[in-house]
Structures are given as C-alpha cells and as structure tokens.
Structure 1
C-alpha cells in the first residue's frame, strides 16, 4: 500500500531538509532550492503489510505554483511547512490551505509544521499561534528542527496514524513501525 505525501511551503522553510532528515538522517546547511518537484520514498512493514510513503517535495518559489495542483490531486496527506523565524512564511500558510481545499476539498489529512526549532532565539511565530491555526483546520501540528532531528519521527508517526487503510476507504492503518536512522539505530518508533 502506498501513500503520497506532498510537502508545501515557501522557499527556505526546510521542506527538503525535513524529508532528508526523515529518510537519511542527514542535514546539509547548503541545500539548493528545489526546482519544480522532487521525490523520495520510504518503505516499511507493519502487521504483514508493506507501506510505502512517497514524499513529494514541491518548490517554494511562486513561479512553480502552477505545478502543485496536479500533485495534490491524488495525495493522502498535505504537509505545510513554515519557518518559525519568518512570520511571512507563516502568513502564507493560508495560501497553501486554499490550494489544498481547491484541489481536494476537506477530505485530506493536513499537517502544519513550524520548522527550525534550533533557532528558538530568533522565533517570530509562537508555538500557540501555530497550534491555534492548525486547530482551525483540524490539522496535525508539530514544531520540528530538521537540523537536530527534533520531532521529525514524531511528526511522521502522527501522520501515519491518520493514513487511510487503503486509498479507497477511511479506516486507519494499524500501528506503523518507523525506524529512526539516528545514532539510536535499531530503536523502533511506532504510529498508533
């Protein structure tokens, strides 16, 4: 069973970094801006079923906005990333919500993620602002640091809890086992 997750947000918010931290447990200070769309995948087993998460990384530049609706059409989850040190990236979350609703309606899992917790001293968007905003849309909410890995596995665990059992019904998956590729390799993390 495969599930398509589309990552949305302004340029420089850390979409690529979050995906790379989740898949490879690595972080690069010098990422190049995504051009158009990029793709990563992670496969794991739960209760005898193979689950494949397809992570679609969209470019945050406005010139690529026209590509995004076609990727949203068949996705299971839309993940909106903003930078907690950049208020404008947070105000643009409205644009991404509108884009999702225009393409998919309200029958989609949405996660809103404030990234760059490692820059807490430069924070411009409070935790409460992000959480309250996400609650208006019944969205999953987390703050993360792609640099340190803080809450990255937890974010994906919460997303997994909301995945439909298959692409044709709304039953939830059984607990999903996600391995952390960090120095604690071998330690298991579970979605319930």
Structure 2
C-alpha cells in the first residue's frame, strides 16, 4: 500500500502535506503507522550560516521550544573539528536543565553551496533522565540501529529536498528505536540490571530524593593519565562515549555523599594541540575543574598554567578546582618538586593531591573532595 508523497509545509514540521492534503503531524504519524516512541523526541538540527544552530525538523511537535534550542546548540558544538562526512560514534550529552539526555549523531555533509564545502547537521534522540541506565547499558545496540539509517540518509541527501528527507529519516529512526527500546524494556523488567553504577563511596546514608548533578572538566597535557584516572574512578559504571575526532570523552558516576546523591558528569578534554581552538565549547556549564599533570614530567605541570588561564577565560573563577599530580607510584622517576606544586595550587585557590591511576591510590578521594567542595559552595554542608 502506497502511503503517499511527503513534503514539509513548515520549518517546524508541525503539519504535513500528504497526497495533497495538509493535516496535523500527529495524524500524519498515525496514518504512516508510526507508534509513539519511548523517547521524549527526535530533533534534526542544521547550522545556518546566518542564524547559527537551529532545529529544522522534530517530533513530536509539542517539544518545548527551549529544549529544541538547547538540543540544537549543544549538539552543534560536537561538529567543531570534525572534517569527515560522518562519524560512527554517538555522543551522550546531558541537558541537565531539562532533565533530558541527548544521544547525538553528528553529520558533515559535503556540498559546494556550504561555506568551506561542508554543512553541519546533527540528529538528537532525547530521552528522559529516568531511562539513562537502560541507554548506557545498550548504547552499542542504539549505535547499531542509528548508523545504518544515518548512512542511508547521507547517501540520499539533497539540499532541495532536505526537509522531506529529514522527516522520512526521523520517521524511520523513530520506528527503529521504538521497537528496539520496547524489546529492551521488556527484558529489563524481567532481568533488572543491578550494576549500572558501582557501589557508593563510604556513605552510611542514601541520597534518595536529593540528586545533584555536577559537570566537571578534566584538563591536562597528553599522556598524563587523565582518561585512565577517570576510568579507575568510574570502575564498573558505563563508559559514555569517546569521539577522538573532536577530542572529548564523557563519563558519569553516581556517588552517595551523606543525604545527597551526586552525579558526576566528567568531561575528559583531549590534551593534543590540534584541539586547542575548540576546547572552550566543552567548558560551558562546568562547576568544577580537575587539572592533571604527570609527576615524572615537569613540563606537564608548567603547561597547566596555560590550561588554567584558558578555562578561567571561558568560565570565570566560580568553579572549584583540584590539581592532581598523577603517577605517584613512579617515585624513582619524579621530576616535580612538591613545594613548587603546592605554591602553584595555592596561588590559584586550589587544593593539591597526588594520585596513581595504576594503583588507584587517592583516586576516589580526589572526587569525594571535589564533591564536598561543590556541596560546600552550594551551602549544603
């Protein structure tokens, strides 16, 4: 049975022209056989050279306009630094103010009409925070579902028909993700995962009902052990995503501290020079800073001054901070003088701690202290 030619009658996709008749999008979804997905929405965003990031098409039409704007702007930040036409990685971005997680597919479309020969596009799947454990556990399945649909969209993309193609793309993705998540939810209802996050750290009280999310940026030169340190801390929790082409690694861990449930959102910023011009896009919204250097390479401490200045220029001085001297297990190879580090930290109003990503020494202590500093800043302890 032919379902008819589709064309978008408005930028927001509020209604559709189906076989020559304009009908509300909710009715169009029903006629096209699309079930309501267990997601908050799907947004297709473009980068307009005059207006900047903007949503081109989305479903359902009732998505909060401020959420649409936030999803478009945040997802477009991920396109900086990507030169290939697409990336197979999915980025999980927290949209904390809306209690939403965005699973983002980045597209770079080659076309002569775009400045520089490439046009930026993103597809954001919006999920309520309550579904995050299910998403993190099955992110590979989601990736396997999204990538073929995105590849097909790229192969058929046309500037003149982009709105129509975007709608049919969202429809197919909506169907695919809906069916998959419904199956996963059925499985989860029978075998509920108990290991989405590792055990809480040294807490005798639960944090139920007092959840607080903290974004922490982790900075430092290449090969100082930032990522290993974070993975040691996160331990059994789910690793979110790593996008080497844009230089950011996002992980999370929930820790109960007293009566509060702290969700650490850890942004591991790549140290390579080629990412220096796009780092500021990842600083936005950070409440704490963790600077990591290598105790066996003195120049990595010296370079922290540049990192510190770059961060302060972009987020100001309100964020709390800790400096971590990593690889303390390599005592025989140390190059850094302790007094020099302490003076460096104190002059910038930060605490100093030595860590070992290899043995795990002081790793949990570092993040517990960051949590205490943040709670104290909020007047909660």
Corresponding residue number in structure 1 for 2:265: 54
- Cα distance in 2 for partners of 1:172, 1:116 equals 34
Corresponding residue number in structure 2 for 1:180: none
1:11 matched to 2:222? The reply is yes
Corresponding residue number in structure 1 for 2:308: 97
Compute the displacement of 1:46 (Å). 4.0
The answer to whether the Cα contact below 8 Å between 2:287 and 2:318 also exists between their aligned partners in 1 is no
Corresponding residue number in structure 1 for 2:320: 109
Deviations 1:160-190 (A, max 9, x none): 111147xxxx42444xxxxxxxxxxxxxxxx
- Cα distance in 2 for partners of 1:127, 1:150 equals 17
Alignment TM-score, normalising by the size of structure 2 = 0.41
Match runs of 1:1-192 below 5 Å = 1-24=212-235, 36-164=247-375, 170-174=377-381
The answer to whether the Cα contact below 8 Å between 1:45 and 1:51 also exists between their aligned partners in 2 is yes
Number of residue-to-residue matches in the alignment:
164
SS of residue in 1 equivalent to 2:278: helix
- Cα distance in 1 for partners of 2:379, 2:367 equals 15
**Which is greater in Rg?**
2
Residues 46 and 79 (structure 1 numbering): CA distance in 2 closer, same or farther, change over 3 Å?
closer
- Cα distance in 2 for partners of 1:156, 1:172 equals 18
SS of residue in 1 equivalent to 2:276: helix
- Cα distance in 1 for partners of 2:214, 2:302 equals 28
Compute the displacement of 1:106 (Å). 1.3
Residues 151 and 46 (structure 1 numbering): CA distance in 2 closer, same or farther, change over 3 Å?
closer
Superposed CA RMSD in Å reads: 2.0
- Structure 1 segments of 4 or more deviating over 6 A? none
Deviations 1:136-156 (A, max 9, x none): 011021011110111111111
Gaps of 5+ in 2: 1-211, 237-241
Compute the displacement of 1:130 (Å). 1.1
The answer to whether the Cα contact below 8 Å between 2:219 and 2:271 also exists between their aligned partners in 1 is yes
**Bigger relative contact order, structure 1 or 2, given CA contacts below 8 A and separation 6+?**
1
Residues 123 and 76 (structure 1 numbering): CA distance in 2 closer, same or farther, change over 3 Å?
same
Compute the displacement of 1:111 (Å). 1.1
Alignment TM-score, normalising by the size of structure 1 = 0.79
The answer to whether the Cα contact below 8 Å between 2:262 and 2:371 also exists between their aligned partners in 1 is no
